[in-house]
Amino acid sequence: MIIDIHTHVCNKKIWKEYQKESGGAVEKIIAIPYFDKNSQDIPRIPDVEELLEFTDSEPSIFSLGSINMDSDLESQLARHEELLREDRIVGIKLYTGYQYFYPHDEKVIRIGKLCGKYKRPLIFHIGDCFDPEDRAILKYAHPIHIDDLAKLCPETNIVISHFGFPYFLETGNVVASNENVYVDISAVMVEFDTPEATRKLQEQYRDDLRRVFTYFPIIKNRVMFGTDFAGENTPLKFVQPYIELIRAFLDEEQQKNAFYKLAEKLYFK
Ligand SMILES: [Zn+2]
């Protein structure tokens, strides 16, 4: 059993591409919306309502919520509480670096408490931002700020996406220090211009993970499988290399955790 906790599969076409790429090895996936569907930066990713129209009719695909921190919080909290209550979303994703707020912001704590109440995780895009328009501010996306939030919301499970690329050691430190913080390995292995460059990137990620797992072996128990798959015509087109990575680093029990046990505990219990 494998669950992919981080994809941007948002229509039937991308879902077909995903199934082809994964060779049918992945049974369940989580699709992630963007806070603003009109964004010029990431035009392909729909917002929550638009994504739900797709995932509601796909039994193997589950949606996250996402709150736009620049617009009215009260109405969005109310809507997300409704969606959590009806099990139509399995967590909430926030984009700190794109929207200029820290994870320990008072507003985030309110969202964190809502997630805690419904026992669903709060997920953050952490680390480097895909940002063709040069708008993101990296300090907000640094993993160190998750440490404060984890302590302010001890009842809430928190997920750091993309292993906080490129802040792997800092991410490892924060995960190791907080039992309620988890991490996914998605998105680091994108397709570069040449096969050689792509291969080197995959090797470098292995080397970096080897280093962080050596320093913080405990976090091997809190790693989850995720790909960030966004379609076969995008740089985020890989599934198998992430499966191989999990198999290369983790023992049998840790692999079960990474492939589905943690996902079931955090998103589906
Ligand atoms: Zn993503």
pLDDT of residue 23: 95
Cis ω for the linkage preceding 166 (within 30 of 0): yes
Task: Count the residues in the chain.
Answer: 269
pLDDT band at 42 (very low <50, low <70, confident <90, very high): low
Domain of residue 92 covers 3-268
How far, in Å, from the CA of 98 to the mean position of ligand 1? Answer: 13
How far, in Å, from the CA of 222 to the mean position of ligand 1? Answer: 19
The residue type found at 109 is I
Of 58-72, 84-98, 131-145, 177-191, minimum mean pLDDT range: 131-145
Sheet containing 3-7: give its strands across.
Answer: 3-7, 28-31, 61-66, 89-94, 122-124, 158-160, 181-184, 223-224
How far, in Å, from the CA of 7 to the mean position of ligand 1? Answer: 6
Contact 3, 264 (CB under 8 A): yes
How far, in Å, from the CA of 106 to the mean position of ligand 1? Answer: 24
**Does 252 have pLDDT greater than 60?**
yes
**Looking at residue 177, which CATH number applies to its domain?**
3.20.20.140
How far, in Å, from the CA of 136 to the mean position of ligand 1? Answer: 15
Q: What is the CA radius of gyration of the chain?
A: 17
Contact 18, 233 (CB under 8 A): no
Per DSSP bridges, beta strands 181-184 and 158-160 are parallel
How far, in Å, from the CA of 90 to the mean position of ligand 1? Answer: 15
Q: How many whole angstroms separate alpha carbon 73 and alpha carbon 148?
A: 21
How far, in Å, from the CA of 113 to the mean position of ligand 1? Answer: 23
**Does 237 have pLDDT greater than 90?**
yes
Tell me the per-residue pLDDT of 185-234, one tens digit each, with 9 for 90 and over: 999 999 999 999 999 999 999 999 999 999 999 999 999 999 999 999 99
**Does 43 have pLDDT greater than 60?**
no
Question: Residue 184's beta-bridge partner residues?
Answer: 224
How far, in Å, from the CA of 38 to the mean position of ligand 1? Answer: 17
Tell me the per-residue pLDDT of 7-39, one tens digit each, with 9 for 90 and over: 999 999 999 999 999 999 999 999 999 988 777
Tell me how far CA of residue 6 lies from CA of 18, 34, 65, 70, 229, in angstroms: 12, 13, 13, 24, 8
pLDDT of residue 41: 60
Alpha carbon of residue 123 to chain centroid: 6
How far, in Å, from the CA of 8 to the mean position of ligand 1? Answer: 6
pLDDT of residue 40: 65
Torsion of CA 153, 154, 160, 165, to 10 degrees: 90
How far, in Å, from the CA of 188 to the mean position of ligand 1? Answer: 10
**Does 48 have pLDDT greater than 60?**
yes
44 versus 113: the higher-pLDDT residue is 113
Q: How many whole angstroms separate alpha carbon 79 and alpha carbon 81?
A: 5
Number of structural domains, the chain? 1
Tell me the per-residue pLDDT of 78-134, one tens digit each, with 9 for 90 and over: 999 999 999 999 999 999 999 999 999 999 999 999 999 999 999 999 999 988 778
Q: How many whole angstroms separate alpha carbon 200 and alpha carbon 207?
A: 10
